[in-house]
Structure 1
Amino acid sequence: MTFQYQSLAQHIAQKIYRSELKIGQRLSSLRQFAEQHQVSLNTAKSCYELLEAQGLIYVKPKAGYFVQSQAQPLHSIAQPQHLDFDAIAKQVSNLELQIEIHEASISSDLIHLGSIQLSPNLIPIDALRRSIQRALKHSKSEDFLYSDRQGHSKLREALSAHWAEDGIFIAKEEIYITNGCMPALSTVIQNLTEVDDSIIIPTPNYNGQLQLLATLKRKILEIPAHADGFDIDRLEQAMRDSGAKVCLLTANFQNPLGFCLSYADKEKIAQLAAQYQCYVIEDDIYAECAYSLKRPLPIQYWDRKGYVIYCGSVSKSLSPSYRIGWFCLPSRLKHLRAKILTQNSAVNTPLQLGLADLIYSRAYREHLNQLKPKLMRQVEQYRQFIMQAFAGVEIRINQPQGGYALWLQLPQQIDSLKMYRYAQQHSINIVPGLVFGEDQRYNNCIRLNAGHQLSDEIERAIQLLADWAKKQI
């Protein structure tokens, strides 16, 4: 449940980040605020207290509430530039480098600027522990036998009910539980395509997906992505002319650019999928990491013909170690059910039941409501510090609308692979832009994780990278 004071606080926070409310500007008094928004004084007070806790406003005794000073206004941070190129089907050429960088990105011995993951302090560990304990206490004897390969009915029911609160209606019979999002994508891709088939994908795109496609020996057909999404006309052209059976898309807070497609674009994509009979595999793993309290709808919401396969997990919104994901099989693909069930590995039953309890107890919803404003504030702190550290270097940073991936575009003479090697020598983990597409077109870019609190250690690591970049130019 979203409380009114949280919604109001989110609205004011957005105004602060957009500089619609200026640094040092005095806010309405509690009584004035309550009257303006037609809420109680208690609601107004709770709203201001939340904003104060987030460091967005401060109170002066007997003077009122004021907008907190920030290092640099948002509008002065330039967005990465859009690169244009022709879509040509090709194999992912750097699989060995992809694997090396992936293994390094999850190393616990390095400073966490590589893999996109939440800091433990943002994970509701106590609530997870209580839910697992309750789930075990109330489990039935059959829960300790071999589990249903489609997933436990309690979890599928819980997910269906959870999504319905956000306006996403998927029956539990269509939900298949997997050991994370990547196994879900792998299963769907293998059942819809053959080796050497082309899959349409916007780039720069999550390097883990490219690594998966390389491992499965699928070709990629890249279309240009940018800060606001990607060109739907180019997507239609690829669907119409390439003969591709599948495209792999993230519409909500794509990794690494962080964009969220408009509802008009999502509806158009669903229509194009049906028109050209090109399946859309939708990876919606970041949707619940929106900065607004309302979760954005997926492409699947507009699917009327069964050409969108909805996939996701709780790895980014809850915990990267909680290996539970899913894909949702529309009725058009029911004929694949038996084959899919033979391929789908059974998922740990106690963890499934624990997640179901977390959802039904409302602890997961409460966690999301608390996480979103924290993420928004934390990501902006990273952006401001990066600009400060790289002062004198012409860099561009994305402004995510959700999630916590940061995409830095550096001057052309900066080699991101050399920066990655340098960072490794100093126990720092980053991901070079080279692995987010083909033809080395993103070699002057890097991706950073902003899921951990901006500690002194991380600030020193970012400053070290900035100092190295300054020497290169």
Structure 2
Amino acid sequence: MAFQYQLLAQQLRQKILAGDIVAGQRLASLRQFSEQQNISLNTAKSCYEMLEAQGLIYVKAKSGYFVQRPSTVSGCAIDAPKHPDFKSEMREVSNLALQIEIHEAAINSKLIHLGSIQLSPNLVPAKALSRSIQRALKYSKPEDFLYSDRQGHIRLREALSAHWAEDGFHIAPELIYISNGCMPTLAVMIQSLTREGDGVIVPTPNYNGQLQMLALLNRKIVEIPANTEGFDLVRLEQAMQQSGAKVCLLTANYQNPLGFCLSNADKEKIAQLAAKYQCYVIEDDIYAECSFSMQRPLPIQYWDQEGYVVYCGSVSKSLSPSYRVGWFCLPTRLKPMHAKIILRNVSVNTPLQLGLADFIFSREYRQHLTALRPQLQQQVQQYRQFIAQAFHGIDFRLNDPQGNYALWLQFPDQINSLALYYFAAEQGINLVPGILFGEDRRYNNCIRLNAGHELSFEVQQAIQLLADWVRAELDNQAVA
């Protein structure tokens, strides 16, 4: 359950972002705010401090609290990245070798963690997880030590079903399949719903790991343009209607790398389009629980009436990637594929499933998410503020995610992100160049950074090195 100051901060945040409270407007004093809301001064102070950490308000000495332009950090306006338009056509992922090379480097734990999108170990509730695993083993049954149900242990499936019901959407345990992480889940569904050579519709820039997976499965892609607000549903409909692709791979909630969250109206429309064109939507909802709001956004699956949405997810981004626990949920329409899908699915060991089920049923997972969300929000804003300082004077653009902890930086066209990647690697720094997030090198002046680790002095030095390289490169090209 959220603390009162977090709920109040969220309410004020929504009013600021909606423009109901305008930039420059003075807020009630702490004492006035505490009286208006019937809360303590400490609660009022915590609320304002949270908004201040998010870059939404600021303090003027002896004057009080004032609203700051939401996209402004430290007095410097940061524009959202621009995104090109392009023709959507079926094609192969052309840079597979580079995808694999950089993916392997991005998970190298010896480098500074700006590459792979993952939480700091300090944000993982290790002690609570340990208690849950010990309890699960203590109360396990003899049959739990035999071969497990290939669909996943019923206890974990019931736990997930109950957990999602609290967030407002309902999936029966018998429709849930436990798998070895989110990417294996997506691969199972891609292989089950398409054949080699088929196309899959994806918005780009899109998570490079998904593009790499599609290339390894010998599937083609049909790209539709995306930006920090989402993607054009008219273009999505055209692709469904004209491209020949019968599957979409979509993230509606806090997409990687842009961080957008589609409106409920857009999600409902996507579910309707999927049914109209009989085009399956494989929904990767891995970041939904990394919302900066106390309320988890609903998935596209919530509006699926005809069984054309396959809901997928994992605890990799909200808990830990090391657990390798993911899931997919088959709509009733696809239940005849059960046997074929079970053969493709990679099982997760039973003790770990039971431990995670206990973690959910004991409310520890819910408590973890309640604490994690404001921490992530504050951490992302700290990164944005430091990036604004480090890149001051450079014409750069930066997303402002409302969930997730991926940051997407765009530089002037003459900056080659692949050259920056190789420079960073020499300095022991991980990042992912934008060239991997789509075709035709259209994102070559972009990079993606992970804000899941604390903004340590080491990380600050790494970001400053990147800024110095970009600044020097621009200076050299100006002289030339």
Q: TM-score, normalised by structure 1?
A: 0.93
Tell me, what secondary structure is at the counterpart of 2:169? coil
Corresponding position: 1:46 with 2:43: yes
Structure 2 alignment gaps of length 5 or more: 475-480
Tell me, what secondary structure is at the counterpart of 2:413? coil
In structure 2, the residue matched to 1:329 is 330
1:242-391 correspondence to structure 2 within 5 Å: 242-391=243-392
Residue type of the partner of 1:267?
Answer: E
In structure 2, the residue matched to 1:7 is 7
Corresponding position: 1:33 with 2:33: yes
Change (3 A) 1:101 1:58: same
Change (3 A) 1:59 1:415: closer
Whole-Å separation in 1 of the counterparts to 2:115 and 2:198? 30
Whole-Å separation in 2 of the counterparts to 1:320 and 1:281? 21
CA deviation map 1:257-289 (0-9, x unaligned): 000011111100000000000000000000000
Contact 2:8-2:47 within 8 A present in 1 as well: no
Tell me, what secondary structure is at the counterpart of 1:420? helix
Whole-Å separation in 2 of the counterparts to 1:65 and 1:313? 43
Contact 1:180-1:315 within 8 A present in 2 as well: yes
Residue type of the partner of 1:41?
Answer: I
Whole-Å separation in 2 of the counterparts to 1:334 and 1:160? 18
Tell me, what secondary structure is at the counterpart of 1:182? helix
Give the CA deviation at 1:138. Answer: 1.1
In structure 2, the residue matched to 1:208 is 209
Contact 2:9-2:51 within 8 A present in 1 as well: no
Whole-Å separation in 2 of the counterparts to 1:17 and 1:454? 25
After TM superposition, the structure 1 stretch with the greater mean CA deviation from structure 2, 351-360 or 189-198, is 351-360
Q: TM-score, normalised by structure 2?
A: 0.92
Change (3 A) 1:337 1:22: same
Whole-Å separation in 2 of the counterparts to 1:119 and 1:18? 32
Contact 1:175-1:329 within 8 A present in 2 as well: yes
Kindly report structure 1 stretches of 4+ aligned residues shifted beyond 2 Å: 1-6, 9-30, 32-37, 44-60, 63-75
Residue type of the partner of 2:33?
Answer: F
CA RMSD of aligned residues (A): 2.5
Contact 2:129-2:355 within 8 A present in 1 as well: yes
Contact 2:4-2:43 within 8 A present in 1 as well: no
In structure 2, the residue matched to 1:404 is 405
Tell me, what secondary structure is at the counterpart of 1:288? helix
Whole-Å separation in 1 of the counterparts to 2:357 and 2:471? 50
In structure 1, the residue matched to 2:140 is 139
After TM superposition, the structure 1 stretch with the greater mean CA deviation from structure 2, 371-380 or 419-428, is 371-380
CA deviation map 1:100-158 (0-9, x unaligned): 11110000110000000011111111111111111111111111111111001010000
In structure 2, the residue matched to 1:193 is 194
Tell me, what secondary structure is at the counterpart of 1:351? helix
Whole-Å separation in 1 of the counterparts to 2:461 and 2:36? 44
Whole-Å separation in 2 of the counterparts to 1:294 and 1:47? 21
Whole-Å separation in 1 of the counterparts to 2:9 and 2:25? 17
Residue type of the partner of 1:49?
Answer: S
Give the CA deviation at 1:322. Answer: 1.5
Residue type of the partner of 1:233?
Answer: V
Tell me, what secondary structure is at the counterpart of 2:241? helix
Give the CA deviation at 1:412. Answer: 0.6
Contact 2:9-2:50 within 8 A present in 1 as well: no
1:65-84 correspondence to structure 2 within 5 Å: 66=65, 72-73=73-74, 76-84=77-85
Tell me, what secondary structure is at the counterpart of 1:41? coil
Give the CA deviation at 1:46. Answer: 3.2
Residue type of the partner of 1:36?
Answer: Q
Contact 1:29-1:64 within 8 A present in 2 as well: no
Contact 1:17-1:74 within 8 A present in 2 as well: no
Contact 2:58-2:68 within 8 A present in 1 as well: no
Whole-Å separation in 2 of the counterparts to 1:331 and 1:84? 37
Residue type of the partner of 1:11?
Answer: Q
Give the CA deviation at 1:218. Answer: 0.1
Give the CA deviation at 1:396. Answer: 0.4
Change (3 A) 1:54 1:28: closer
Whole-Å separation in 2 of the counterparts to 1:195 and 1:215? 10
1:426-465 correspondence to structure 2 within 5 Å: 426-465=427-466
Whole-Å separation in 1 of the counterparts to 2:67 and 2:298? 32
Change (3 A) 1:268 1:22: closer
Contact 1:6-1:47 within 8 A present in 2 as well: no
Whole-Å separation in 1 of the counterparts to 2:11 and 2:75? 16
Give the CA deviation at 1:342. Answer: 1.5
Tell me, what secondary structure is at the counterpart of 1:158? helix
Residue type of the partner of 2:267?
Answer: K
